[in-house]
Chain A
Amino acid sequence: MTTPSAPPDQPAAPRLMIVDDEPDVRAAMARVLERAGFAVLLVASADEAIAALRTERVDLLITDMIMPGLNGADLIRVVKRDFPEIRVVAISGGGNFWPQGYKPEAITTSAYLAAAEKAGADGAISKPFEILELLEVVRSVIAKRDGAR
């Protein structure tokens, strides 16, 4: 479930947690982020993420918006309340996922991401993205945190 694998020559590597119900998505993201020097934790749902956050130190949380169970916006709210020092980046593939998932405020990709921002996310990116796009968002959010400190 967790894969803490920061390169040994970077002791202060930021620790990222990726929350996505799609194994392929989180594995691919883990692969490129680890390659870029981040330590990455992977979880499949919001509940798992909240449980893991109680034991693991995490600098940045990357969460999908549409997930079974607790959705991305809910998770962001919990994280911002319980772990205010953790930065959050929201990702979303958009689309009306299933009819019951349809909400007036979540019709468009930008609306999903706007919902994330409203819940307290520090950055957002829509799927699919390229490596550079992902890294740019992650780095800018981490830099924002570092600058804020």
Chain B
Amino acid sequence: MERLSGTLASRIALVMLAAHGVLLPALFFGLMRGVERALADQFIAQVRGFSRAVADEFELGDALDSVERSRALLDSAILRGDGVYAELRGADINVRSELGPAGIQRPKHQNLDVDIAQGGHQIYFLMLPVEHAGKQAELWLGFDEAPTMGQIGEARSRILIALGAYFALTMALGVLVGYWLSRPLIELRQRSKRVASGDYTLTLGASSSLREVAELGEDLERMRSELVGVSERLRYEIAAKEAVESERRALEVQLRRRHRLETVGTLAGGVAHEFNNALVPIILYTESMLLDAPAPSAQREQLEGVLSAARRAREIVRKVLTFSRNIDAGQLVPVRLEAIVDEALKLFRALVPPNIEVVREVEDGIPEVLADAGLLSQLIMNLCTNAYQAMRSGGTLTIGVHVARHSGGEPDRVVELFVRDTGHGMDAVTMERIFEPFFTTREVGSGTGLGLAVAHGIAISFGASILVESSPGGGSTFRVRFPPAPTTVFSHAVAEPNPVRSAR
């Protein structure tokens, strides 16, 4: 109801109602007055003319002389016209017609003119003085007002009907005009509401021949299309900016990690060089002394202890060098990753206790990757060992190879090797440092802290990237992503053998 009272149609109806409230009564009373006056004038003129004629008959004839004749005249006056009362009153004559309705009392004075409906008079009385041959008398005539009153009432109801019809018609017209005016606006509003709620494909516009409304529709449509353009552009720009930003962040993290690893690598490389040099005299002198030492002796035992420690040191340095990219990688050749995974799996299954379930998830049709088979095998073993050590109390180790369709920075088709465990997982801080050499979460003595650093070094030497996903308690997944092996590298690798290695 409240909604309806605010509409254009109801406003128009309200205004028309107010206007008619003033206009129609005024019209009605004006018209009624005119009609009443006209009918009254007509009645009076008729009555007077008739009375005059009766009076003339008295004056011209000799009816005044005889009561009978006067009565006859009065009777005929009543019979002829609308008269209901007729009386002649003189000094020596007093006659009244008995033909009219009984019991009519004549007033002492005649009515004055037109106010026929006033005071509830039902009968209009007239008095005319008549004179004949020196005799004078008063002629009283009474006329019935009812027919005229009936005419007036009839006119009133006609006027009322006409005004009522006019009122109803104009009100209906007003409401119709209101609806006609507001229909395109309502339509426009419904469409703009849908646009506002997000349906930007909808076009606006008003199907109206009214220029104002049509122009409003055009303006709204212009605004809508501009808004759609702007919001599309904004959305696109925001999406593009977000993509760039997330890519930048990922690159930044990668760069920071790589930078730190490179710093550590450079340092490790320098230390490794020094160690290698220091180990030369240790190993050579010890071996030399061993040649001189008597076969079973404490001295010999001790020297062998030194030598084995030196050999261990040499192995550690070799691993550090692997991490710091000073890797004896030799030449990279296209390798069938799944074959090496299967080989490593065979070995690994024999090593782990039965509470570790080992699952293989290798896709078919994996392209070859550029690698060194021996190092790749070591990389896989290191990742598997790490996974196993993360779930000493049992769990599932999944090793898989698939082609990852990756977007952002990397080529579309990267061969991905992954090793997933259901172990204790790690937090973000640990994840940041997991590939650093000598970083270990295990208790002292149970590992060198080099396994993942070496894995990292090997992956980098293949031009592959290595990354880790993990959460505390949620296990860890290590992924090694190989760029697809270009066929040209293959022939190049075959064309350049390395004879120096054979010299060793």
Residues of A near any B CB (own CB < 8 A): 22, 24-25, 27-29, 31-32, 35, 66, 93-99, 107-110, 113-114, 116-117, 121-131, 133-134, 137, 140
Contacts and interface: CB of A to CB of B under 8 A. Distances in A.
B447 interface: no
Given A93-B272, A94-B326, A96-B270, A109 B284 contact: no
B330 A97 contact: no
Contacts of A94: 269, 272-273, 276, 321, 326
* Pairs A-B, 7 closest by C-beta atoms: A95-B273, A93-B276, A128-B279, A28-B281, A96-B269, A95-B269, A28-B284
B23 to A, nearest CB: 104
A28 B278 CA distance: 11
Nearest to A108: B326
Contacts of A31: 284-285, 288
Interface stretch (B337-345, B355-363, B424-432, B496-504): B496-504
Interface string B438-467: 000000000000000000000000000000
Contact of B326 (A96, A123, A128, A131): A96
A129 B277 CA distance: 10
B269 A128 contact: no
Interface core residue of A35, A131, A140 (most chain B CB under 10 Å): A131
Interface of B: 265-266, 268-285, 287-288, 291, 310, 314, 321, 324-330, 498-501, 503-504
Contacts of A116: 500
Contacts of A140: 503
Contacts of B272: 93-95
Contacts of A95: 268-274, 276, 321, 324, 326
A72 B330 CA distance: 21
B281 A25 contact: yes
Given A22-B277, A24-B278, A124-B504, A110 B283 contact: no
11 contacts: A94-B269, A96-B273, A99-B266, A109-B326, A110-B329, A114-B498, A117-B499, A117-B503, A123-B503, A126-B504, A127-B279
Given A95-B272, A96-B269, A131-B284, A110 B501 contact: yes
Q: Which residue, A93, A123, A129, has most C-beta atoms of chain B within 10 A?
A: A93
Contact of A32 (B276, B277, B288, B325): B288
Residue from the set B268, B283, B501 with the largest chain A CB neighbour count within 10 Å: B283
A116 B272 CA distance: 20
Given A108-B328, A128-B310, A24 B321 contact: no
A96 to B, nearest CB: 4
Contact of B284 (A29, A108, A124): A29
B317 to A, nearest CB: 8
A105 to B, nearest CB: 13
A95 B488 CA distance: 30
Contacts of B283: 128-130
B interface, by DSSP: helix, strand, loop or mixed? helix
Nearest to A116: B500
A113 B276 CA distance: 15
Contacts of A129: 280, 283
Contacts of B275: 93
B280 A128 contact: yes
A121 B271 CA distance: 26
Given A131-B287, A131-B288, A137-B503, A93 B277 contact: yes
A35 B288 contact: yes
Contact of B321 (A25, A109, A122, A123): A109
Nearest to A35: B288
Contacts of A35: 288, 291
Q: Which has the most chain A C-beta neighbours within 10 Å: B266, B272, B277, B287?
A: B277
B39 to A, nearest CB: 127
Contacts of B281: 24-25, 27-28
Contacts of B277: 22, 24-25, 93, 127-128
A129 B284 CA distance: 8
Given A96-B270, A99-B266, A114-B498, A108 B327 contact: yes
A133 B283 CA distance: 12
A110 B330 CA distance: 7
Given A29-B284, A35-B288, A95-B321, A137 B504 contact: yes
A10 to B, nearest CB: 18
A108 B326 CA distance: 4
A110 B285 CA distance: 25
Most chain-B Cβ atoms within 10 A of its Cβ — which of A24, A96, A98, A107? A96
Nearest to B325: A107
B329 A108 contact: yes
Nearest to A114: B500
Contacts of B501: 110
Contact of A128 (B266, B271, B276, B503): B276
A96 B264 CA distance: 11
A95 B457 CA distance: 14
Contacts of A133: 504
A125 to B, nearest CB: 6
A147 to B, nearest CB: 15
A128 B141 CA distance: 163
B287 A110 contact: no
A130 B287 contact: yes
A121 B500 CA distance: 9
Contacts of B287: 32, 130-131
A60 B275 CA distance: 26
A35 B285 CA distance: 11
Interface centre among B265, B272, B324, B326 (most CB of A within 10 A): B326
B431 to A, nearest CB: 27
